[in-house]
Structure 1
């Protein structure tokens, strides 16, 4: 019997295999030293604080976890400053696109404590972005996948019984669902694609198109992170070229499938107003869409897929909890990380957030709700990429797209320039 299993059995008894990871090193309860752990994050405090106050004490009365909510645009700078001053948090909740910029400020959990295979069996695949040669840099909590929202009334009016499942189905739908006035101005759109300034999720949409085409955006080669944007992978044309061309064509007035332009309202507002048939957004946007228009006849589906790759995937925003270098004591911090990612805590936290959990045992539970099956399926299909600096890469993606839509560059040229910029950023 391994050390991993011995600790599990001595503390909690015989749990199912997927629970092994979470409780393997947990030493809560009798004999544990009282401790207060501070965790920072940008998720709403009203979602996590009730869990910390009600669920945590039922598992470990010796551990108090205090959550401090920070704004998304300031948390990384405040975290860096707090660590430098010696008053940083013990734990940090972050997403995969902020991992590398904060990696040097985090502490990994070695594999002799949490095995790689145990991690892979316990959590959705996107969590593997936090696995390194040294160990585990974060335990997954929840996933916010990009899904396809659609206007059921607009589809019914066009004689369509169901939403699109593949991207090539969007072409005839665009011809059916896009409408213009006498002056040629767009009055109804099939979908918001092709621009950046009024499509808030353009980077994530472009990322999922790239990954579906077979481009991982970045990849590790001989232990070093490299840009993969313009890689051909043995093909005549770089897959990224096709993905960029597909995205930008929908904002080109000269193309038959013109359906979007930069003078329209934001993509979310246009859809909520009933003027777009489809909208690519995060699962977390469901509440805001309903608030904007309670009368919107809204439907949800997984994002369309590529017929070529044969592999279903979407982009997901993965939330994990990590131990920081500011942790006062390693043992209580580890107890807290394991506790936060445990089944009872993760289940309630995901429910409060309105998101699918990251644990496979929770994702495998059959859902009767009309919405959750789409969320859960998309969570299991979620992928991401190692982002060296999420704000700068957003600017790189924006410049890449805008250079094509403005006519300043062809897709291959824009992709190459973006790849060089990404490569320079990594260096």
Structure 2
């Protein structure tokens, strides 16, 4: 059972049964059910094969629907998407990263309360007869999103909506995810073995101790072997995410109730700024005066260093695992949960894409119906298996907890968070990179973090 395929008794608000018998031609429902509809879908990373089973299942129910699936490279996706919409050639369905909802909201059609979709069924046991109906089914509500999906999802996809300038603000669903990934710690087991470290670190205290045992520095502070690819900005993949999760684990209030950034000015009742402490902790790994020093701006990209065996620890997502195996097939690699602060509540970092519908689409009903169909608990498992992704749905977590490759990432889903709600994620990430660089260059942490906060405010 899917959102839009609920039982007629419970979910069918309106059914116009129009068989066309006794009429001079086909009924309106028959015309709607046979009119060809092509849904253009734009996505990143995943090939069409990952969605093949879902698309085939949908076209079996709606034989008039076909798909044009376009996979774009991540580095070109944003510009191509904006160009296509500007030229009136945008897709019906497109993916938006969880930090990009603010930027692309104006291009999205919010999910309506109901969808009118034609269906054709065969009735009769002796005399078979096709009956075509237009069903008006209720769609998933914001309350159901909060109930059925991970906590982090509702904050990203349930957004305020005003029909007109003077209309009251209400909540609308602007998209649905097929998966949610979480950041974890990749470990080069051979390097840990050589250093006499039996188990990957669980806490940040243990992580620091392990880094000090693993790092090898020459007489001129040259790094011979890095304990962890951590501490700088430009050459650490997803440095924004790592620093963000450190801040959140340390109790930093990243934004206020209105979404305004507060990570640089937030103070605890004890008048301390946990965000500043997180920045110091992070940058210490690239500070040659600190015991945990083991990385600097002259090192290669953190992923490249890890697959080359030059660093023992790398922070990444589930999508990094096949890339690591492809680049370093003989590496004794282990995936370990994200380290946490000892005796504190776990906080993990979410990273995922959301499927949404263009407000310029001429097929919004079918497009939204397909998004709901694809994200349903019945259909999405085929995608999760094909794409090797962790689920976004609470009910499917148990089905993945024993997956050897995904178990760690899945185990962190219920504590996954994110925080950015502005309209320019790239500028926000650049602000964090500059924050790191400024501190490493000697700027006072308080001044640097407030400067970064002001830059992020400009993206709202």
1:275-304 Cα distance to aligned partner (Å, 9 max, x none): 222110121011111111111100011100
Where do residues 168-207 of structure 1 align in structure 2 (5 Å cutoff)?
A: 168-207=205-244
- The 2-side partners of 1:89 and 1:282 are apart by 28
1:161 aligns to 2:159 (yes or no): no
1:71-106 Cα distance to aligned partner (Å, 9 max, x none): 323322332332233221111111111111001111
Q: State which of 235, 243, 260 in structure 1 corresponds to 2:295.
A: 260
Relative to structure 1, the CA distance from residue 240 to residue 71 in structure 2 (aligned partners, 3 Å threshold; closer, same or farther) is: same
Give how far 1:219 is off: 3.8
The normalised TM-score by structure 1 is: 0.88
Asked if the contact 2:42–2:70 (Cα under 8 Å) also holds between the matched residues in 1, the reply is: yes
1:337-374 Cα distance to aligned partner (Å, 9 max, x none): 11121234321222222211212222222543322211
Please tell me whether Structure 1 or Structure 2 has the larger radius of gyration of its CA atoms: 2
Structure 1 equivalent of residue 355 of structure 2? 321
Q: Which moved more, 1:204-213 or 1:58-67?
A: 58-67
Structure 1 equivalent of residue 426 of structure 2? 391
Relative to structure 1, the CA distance from residue 74 to residue 102 in structure 2 (aligned partners, 3 Å threshold; closer, same or farther) is: same
Structure 1 equivalent of residue 8 of structure 2? 10
Where do residues 310-349 of structure 1 align in structure 2 (5 Å cutoff)?
A: 310-349=344-383
Structure 1 equivalent of residue 250 of structure 2? 213
Relative to structure 1, the CA distance from residue 233 to residue 181 in structure 2 (aligned partners, 3 Å threshold; closer, same or farther) is: closer
- The 2-side partners of 1:300 and 1:205 are apart by 16
- The 2-side partners of 1:213 and 1:169 are apart by 16
1:3-35 Cα distance to aligned partner (Å, 9 max, x none): x99972228x9xxxxxx9xx999x9xx977353
- The 1-side partners of 2:267 and 2:147 are apart by 32
- The 2-side partners of 1:331 and 1:403 are apart by 49
Structure 1 equivalent of residue 128 of structure 2? none
- The 2-side partners of 1:7 and 1:209 are apart by 42
- The 2-side partners of 1:98 and 1:63 are apart by 29
Structure 2: tracts of 5 or more residues without a match: 17-28, 114-137, 161-170
Give how far 1:169 is off: 1.3
Relative to structure 1, the CA distance from residue 340 to residue 24 in structure 2 (aligned partners, 3 Å threshold; closer, same or farther) is: farther
Q: Whose helix proportion is higher, 1 or 2?
A: 1
Give how far 1:58 is off: 4.3
Structure 1 equivalent of residue 83 of structure 2? 81
Query: What SS does structure 1 have at the residue aligned with 2:334?
Result: strand
Asked if the contact 2:41–2:91 (Cα under 8 Å) also holds between the matched residues in 1, the reply is: yes
1:243-278 Cα distance to aligned partner (Å, 9 max, x none): 111100010001111111111221112111222221
- The 1-side partners of 2:3 and 2:92 are apart by 27
Where do residues 93-104 of structure 1 align in structure 2 (5 Å cutoff)?
A: 93-104=95-106
1:140 aligns to 2:212 (yes or no): no
Relative to structure 1, the CA distance from residue 358 to residue 314 in structure 2 (aligned partners, 3 Å threshold; closer, same or farther) is: same
Query: What SS does structure 1 have at the residue aligned with 2:306?
Result: helix
The normalised TM-score by structure 2 is: 0.82
Structure 1 equivalent of residue 457 of structure 2? 423
Q: Which moved more, 1:67-76 or 1:185-194?
A: 67-76
Query: What SS does structure 2 have at the residue aligned with 1:44?
Result: coil
Relative to structure 1, the CA distance from residue 54 to residue 306 in structure 2 (aligned partners, 3 Å threshold; closer, same or farther) is: same
- The 1-side partners of 2:345 and 2:454 are apart by 28
1:232 aligns to 2:267 (yes or no): yes
Query: What SS does structure 1 have at the residue aligned with 2:349?
Result: strand
Q: Which moved more, 1:82-91 or 1:394-403?
A: 82-91
Structure 1: tracts of 5 or more residues without a match: 14-19
Where do residues 260-339 of structure 1 align in structure 2 (5 Å cutoff)?
A: 260-307=295-342, 310-339=344-373
Give how far 1:110 is off: 4.8
Q: Which moved more, 1:236-245 or 1:76-85?
A: 76-85
- The 1-side partners of 2:159 and 2:110 are apart by 9
Give how far 1:331 is off: 1.6
Asked if the contact 1:191–1:279 (Cα under 8 Å) also holds between the matched residues in 2, the reply is: yes
Larger RCO of the pair (alpha carbons < 8 Å, separation 6+):
1
Give how far 1:218 is off: 3.2
